A = this chain, B = another copy of it.
Amino acid sequence: MVSRVESAAATRRALVDAAAALLDEGGPDAVTLREVGARAGVSRGAPYGHFPDKEHLLAAVAAERWDAIGVRLDALIADRDRPPADRLEQALAGLMEVGRQSPHAYALMFSTPVGVYPDAIAAVSRTHDQFLAIVTDVIGDPARSGPVGALLMSSVQGIIAMENSGLLTAEKWHVTGDELLHMLIDRIAASDRR
């Protein structure tokens, strides 16, 4: 019924899910291998059968979250009835939503170690390609969609980082994160529209 490899794959998934849940619930410090093992129904040493160390487990969490965003972008791309500009706005709003609902995971996705782990690199690359495709549909000129896409994704990350760290106060800046997003769309994406 459950072969050995199936059981191992299920354990690996349980470990990643447990780590992701702990990260969302209590931040990076709450992710301990002992608690991850307990939630996955295994012992504290079990993760070492699937990952070289804790950082690789966290990289797997980051990769999974990038893939999750990729799924959302896929749904957007498949919706051919929606105007391209609408799709881009929805894509950016989706990034903002993820960043707000899972601030710790979002920070992990954009933190240094991600670029070192092959699985994470692949997931990031796929999702970024999808995002670029959406941008290109709006911009037209493929030579411009790269820089424009990079600026959009960078800025959204920055807006979320400022929001989540409490640095984007209304009293100081007289603006909300959503308003910044629309400034960005108006002045970066819209001005390059074909």
Contacts and interface: CB of A to CB of B under 8 A. Distances in A.
A168 B159 CA distance: 17
Mostly, the A contact residues are helix
Copies per assembly: 2
Interface residues of A, number: 46
Interface string A130-158: 00100000000001001111110111111
B164 A161 contact: no
A14 interface: no
Contacts of A153: 158, 162
B161 A147 contact: no
A147 B173 contact: yes
Contact of A158 (B159, B165, B167, B168): B159
Given A157-B161, A183-B147, A167 B103 contact: no
Contacts of A187: 187-188, 191
Interface of A: 27, 103, 107, 110-112, 114-116, 124-125, 128-129, 132, 143, 146-151, 153-159, 161-162, 164-168, 172-175, 179-180, 183-184, 187-188, 191
